[in-house]
Amino acid sequence: MHYILTILLLTTCIYAKTADFSIIIDEKFNNALVDVAEDYDRSISAVGFIKKYKDASSNSSAVYTNAFDYLSSLSSSSGSQMHLVKVDNSADIVLRRSIDLSKFNEATSLVKTPQNGYFIGGHTLEGSLVLLKLDSDANKIFVKEFGTPNHDKMSKLVSLRDGGILAVGSSTASSSQSYDIFKNGLGLNDIYVARFSKNGTMLWSKKYGSYEDDAGVDAVEADDGSIIVLGKINKDNRLGATLMRITEHGDKIWLHEQLEDRGITPHRIIKLRDSAFAISLSQKDEMNKEQIRVIKIDLQKNILQDKTIHTTYSSVLKDIREYSDGRIVGVGYVQDSYDTDGLAMLLDSKFSMLLQEHYGSRDYDSFNALDILHDSKIAVAGVHTNQDSQETNMWLLKLNQDLSISQLSYKSTDFYSMLSELFRDEIQRGELLIKEDLSINFSDERLYFQVGEYKLTDVQKSFLDRFGKKLFTFLYENKEKIATLEINGHTSSEWGESDFSNSYIKNERLSMNRSFATLSYMFKSQNDKRQKWLSEILKGSGLSFSKKIVVNDTEDKERSRRASFKVLLLND
């Protein structure tokens, strides 16, 4: 496997990010991000957990008469806590909050609300299921603790069309059929499903299973409102997958078990654009290596496609999504004898592999979840282990469609600072001004045009040589972030005795000539490689006197006769 993650540790921060869109949040002990979603403001939110340890000094004076009492006192001293992270397009953390609950807990799933808030699902370490609704600033709206009298765990929250939420997980099997929600389960564990309204009211909760060991993994809502539940089963020491279709009220319509000698592990089910369903599984081959298997079924559990993707190393896709053109993107992990890396894979509509990439260091790294963003890039949440460390860290990154790591989107304020530093001497000499919108205007009177003139003077050419060398080199070094470089020509508003209409038209032509003279002179001074790149970003415009310089309600005609520049970034 190859390694293409470079980590730049920031000694003054608790997280590190690279020149690529890759953020590693390093907290004490083991931590992870388990789910991710795009926010309506185009930022990215991810949920996971961090480890918290209570101060043991408060009980230092306690006296215990036996070892069991002492161990009981320690049982609530350490554990996990749900943690939410939100980052902007520059990979800066804009919100980070641990969800303070009375019991230690772990998050397993994240769903966005129409108000740009969050539903977060998980479970306490004591065995209760938890559903939280947060506002856009991660303030708690409500917390629901629910489940059975037994030990329960949540696997996934599923967004429903009515704005409600479906919680899918597992519950230790009931010892009695007297429980109202009991549905045919006396095995080790059963599938547990609960439905909530958008306001957090539980509409129903039910258990499903066999006399074997069952657990809920995921679910998806069909077009008719019924629900397909994906589960796993351990029967006679064989691992398998279960598919169950239930009504919107939780009544079972059909159940299908998929058991094979080599064992199957289910990971995710999604609804496709053609209303069929794709299921991500993993299955061991004859060499005992996990291989990816993707199955497509219809609403009547007919298998439409069944594809095993053979890879050199053990590989698993823990989460999958469909692009608008039918391609499938998935993330998970790839493992050899030495380490585990995060895996990203792109499949065509027939589930044949198109691309795969591995990301990580020489220790344990894994991707847990993904979300396809509005621009078809991919947000990924997972875990990363620093070299020579035994503790996992939260990991959030963004991939392009070709599965390469996306570059950071710089803010205009970042570029403003860099341009201001680049032209610090020119600014101090009063030759130019740079604004935060990345516009550049000349302020030396020798750089203005004379009345009616557009041909460059020797002074203007000399300055443009120095200015262009700096500007074009800087922009070329940051070309992945540059959308356009505008070179605009301007005029003052007068034109002899002409009326307004003729004055504007004649000044428009003059301003275009000034733009062209400046653009062509600077362009011709570049080498072929630089010229080809500039041809893709340069935009020359004549603005007549629409942007004339006005000081104290009076036009400054001399300063209005100019050329100006403006940098537009790709994320503007």
CATH number at residue 486: 3.30.1330.60
Q: 551: Cβ–Cβ under 8 A, 6 or more apart, which residues?
A: none
Higher-confidence position of 183 and 113: 113
- List residues bridging with 234 in a β-sheet: 213, 239
Instruction: Indicate if 417 and 304 belong to the same structural domain.
Output: no
Assigned token pair, 560: 């209005």
Instruction: Indicate if 298 and 426 belong to the same structural domain.
Output: no
- Res 117 pLDDT > 90: yes
The whole-number pLDDT of residue 60 equals: 53
Instruction: Indicate if 232 and 86 belong to the same structural domain.
Output: yes
| Average pLDDT taken over every residue of the chain | 89
- Is residue 341 one of the residues assigned to a domain? no
Answer for the pair 251, 261: CB distance below 8 angstroms, yes or no.
no
Instruction: Indicate if 299 and 433 belong to the same structural domain.
Output: no
The whole-number pLDDT of residue 68 equals: 56
- Res 10 pLDDT > 60: no
The whole-number pLDDT of residue 5 equals: 39
- Is residue 61 one of the residues assigned to a domain? no
Q: 348: Cβ–Cβ under 8 A, 6 or more apart, which residues?
A: 326, 327, 328, 354
The whole-number pLDDT of residue 327 equals: 97
Tell which residue, 125, 96, 90, 93, has the closest CA to residue 108.
125
The whole-number pLDDT of residue 58 equals: 46
The whole-number pLDDT of residue 11 equals: 28
- Is residue 360 one of the residues assigned to a domain? no
The whole-number pLDDT of residue 211 equals: 80
Please compute the mean of the pLDDT values over residues 546-553 and round it to a whole number: 91
Instruction: Indicate if 303 and 164 belong to the same structural domain.
Output: yes
Q: For residue 282, what is the DSSP state? A: E
pLDDT in tens, 387-410: 777 888 999 999 999 999 987 766
Answer for the pair 330, 347: CB distance below 8 angstroms, yes or no.
yes
- Is residue 537 one of the residues assigned to a domain? yes
pLDDT in tens, 305-335: 999 999 999 999 999 999 999 999 999 999 9
Assigned token pair, 143: 């917390």
Residue-by-residue DSSP string for 377-411: -EEEEEEEE-TT---EEEEEEEE-TTSSBPBP---
The whole-number pLDDT of residue 13 equals: 36
Using a pLDDT cut of 90, give the percent of the chain over it.
72
Tell which residue, 304, 235, 300, 297, has the closest CA to residue 269.
297
pLDDT in tens, 438-448: 999 999 999 99
Please compute the mean of the pLDDT values over residues 558-569 and round it to a whole number: 95
Residue ending a domain, among 365, 384, 403, is 384
Cα separation of 205 and 555, whole Å? 73
The whole-number pLDDT of residue 529 equals: 93
- Is residue 393 one of the residues assigned to a domain? no
Instruction: Indicate if 100 and 209 belong to the same structural domain.
Output: yes
Structure-token match 């696997």, residue found: 155
- Is residue 333 one of the residues assigned to a domain? no
Please compute the mean of the pLDDT values over residues 198-214 and round it to a whole number: 92
- List residues bridging with 15 in a β-sheet: 25
- List residues bridging with 159 in a β-sheet: 165
Give the global pTM.
0.73
Q: Which residue intervals of 408-493 are DSSP H helices?
A: 412-422, 424-428, 458-477
Predicted confidence band of residue 262 (pLDDT cuts 50, 70, 90): confident
How many domains are contained in the chain? 2
Cα separation of 275 and 272, whole Å? 5
- List residues bridging with 370 in a β-sheet: 380
Strands 378-385, 303-309: parallel, antiparallel or unpaired by DSSP? unpaired
- Is residue 136 one of the residues assigned to a domain? yes
CATH number (domain holding residue 89) = 2.130.10.10
pLDDT in tens, 466-518: 999 999 999 999 888 899 999 999 999 988 777 889 899 999 999 999 999 99
Using a pLDDT cut of 70, give the percent of the chain over it.
89
Instruction: Indicate if 426 and 540 belong to the same structural domain.
Output: yes
Of 9-13, 40-44, 373-377, the range with the lowest mean pLDDT is 9-13
- Res 3 pLDDT > 60: no
- Res 106 pLDDT > 50: yes
Domain of residue 221, residue span: 22-56+78-311+348-353+379-384
Residue ending a domain, among 384, 404, 436, is 384
Instruction: Indicate if 114 and 249 belong to the same structural domain.
Output: yes
Buried-state track 379-392, b at ≥16 Cβ within 10 A, e below 16: bbbbbbbbeeeeeb
Strands 93-98, 118-124: parallel, antiparallel or unpaired by DSSP? unpaired
Run of H or E residues at 536: helix 528-537
Assigned token pair, 172: 């230790």
Please compute the mean of the pLDDT values over residues 77-100 and round it to a whole number: 88
Instruction: Indicate if 180 and 290 belong to the same structural domain.
Output: yes
Of 52-56, 217-221, 385-389, 551-555, the range with the lowest mean pLDDT is 52-56
Q: In what order do the strands lie in the sheet with 202-208?
A: 152-159, 165-172, 189-196, 202-208
- Is residue 172 one of the residues assigned to a domain? yes
Q: For residue 209, what is the DSSP state? A: -
Cα separation of 309 and 176, whole Å? 43
Terminal-to-terminal C-alpha distance of the chain = 37
- Res 187 pLDDT > 90: no
Distances (CA, A) of 184 to 211, 251, 253: 8, 12, 14
Structure-token match 């001399």, residue found: 558
234: left (phi over 0), alpha (psi -120 to 50) or beta: beta
